[in-house]
Amino acid sequence: MSVFTAADFHEHEAVAFFHDKASGLKSIIAVHSTALGNSCGGVRMYPYASDDEAVADVLRLSRGMSYKSAIAGLPLGGGKAVIIGDPATEKTESRLLAFADAVNALGGRYITAMDVGVTQKDMPVIAGRTEYVAGYDQPGKTGGDSGPWTALGVFLGLKAAVKQRLERDSTRGLKVAIQGLGKVGMAVARQLHEEGANLLVADVNTEAVQRASSAFGAQPLPVDEIVTAECDVLSPNALGAILDDVSVPKVKAKVIAGGANNQLARQDHGEALRGRGILYAPDYVINGGGIIAVAGQMFDWSDAEIERRVRSIAETLSQIFRRASSEGAPTSLIADCIAEERMAAGKNLRAQAAE
């Protein structure tokens, strides 16, 4: 597979491959854009079935981070890293330190944070060898763990989508199907339960499903049925590419609003959803609370300022919904247009400054 001709290459500025024989590290760092600032995005550790699969994932994720930071109005570009391996059995201190060396090799062009398979306890190890790290709990610093901020943005964004599509100010009495009960999905479930929503839940982790059932009265569903369940709102909070040629025609929800990255398998699935009258909250907009929290830690914003920015996600989505409606375009395309306009403006400013 050639990186330059990969479907998801999309004019990345840099894609770097790192291998450390001593620790066994195999890692890829992708920098999509630095038009608005140094690139930032989490590092994901995952047992990819092939190198091509890892490359495709890091390219999609890094591009998504560019758009996520741009749409959130942050002075950051987009990047992402993957470590190939099973975090349950192959994560070692030496491998994390080797990854830190890889980050250092880019000289600050990429700033790393947490993602799937990398936890709070791993970040101080990485930070012990690189200063280009953020997005975890540090004494005396704001931001920290981005999960709660991501969940708040998803919950408020979901409510904005409900108001737009269902003309309701509350989720009380609505049936919401939640796919994925990790840190974000479980927190969104709690907030929806407190507002009076009726929950359907699914996760490969049966213990998490049991906890949600016990705490929130949620109805468990098999993981292969949650996306097409009878509900008002579908909230995807697991891995991406769940909205594809097979699932989109079967979705019964009127609203899709969740924290998972890259929910659309292809861009044209956004148009397919619009054609069926389903309002889609673009994933990198609604889940922007995480990168806002990371930026807050990097730029020493107060918790109040971080919260203000996270709460503004709902209004950003409302603006996208209104523009999509007036232009007869899918919400995913409108979000992309806004992000690309901001990145283009950033490139122009940099070019002018260099003259």
**Three-state secondary-structure class, residue 16:** strand
* Three-state DSSP class for residue 6: coil
Residue 79 DSSP one-character state: E
Is 80 annotated as catalytic? Answer: yes
User: Which residues make Cβ contacts (< 8 Å) with residue 105, sequence separation at least 6?
Assistant: 16, 18
Helix (H, G, I), strand (E, B) or coil at 338: helix
User: In the sheet where 39-46 sits, what is the strand order?
Assistant: 14-20, 25-33, 77-84, 39-46, 110-114
CA distance 184 to 123: 19
Q: How would you classify the pairing of strands 25-33 and 14-20? A: antiparallel
Residue 326 CB partners (closer than 8 Å, separation 6+): none
Q: Residue for token digits 């375009």?
A: 329
Number of neighbours of residue 118 by Cβ within 10 angstroms? 25
Of the residues 21, 26, 68, 80, which is catalytic? 80
Nearest residue to 178 (alpha-carbon basis) of 251, 233, 217: 233
How many residues appear in the chain? 355
**Among 132, 81, 84, which residue's Cα sits nearest to residue 111?**
132
Catalytic residue set: 80
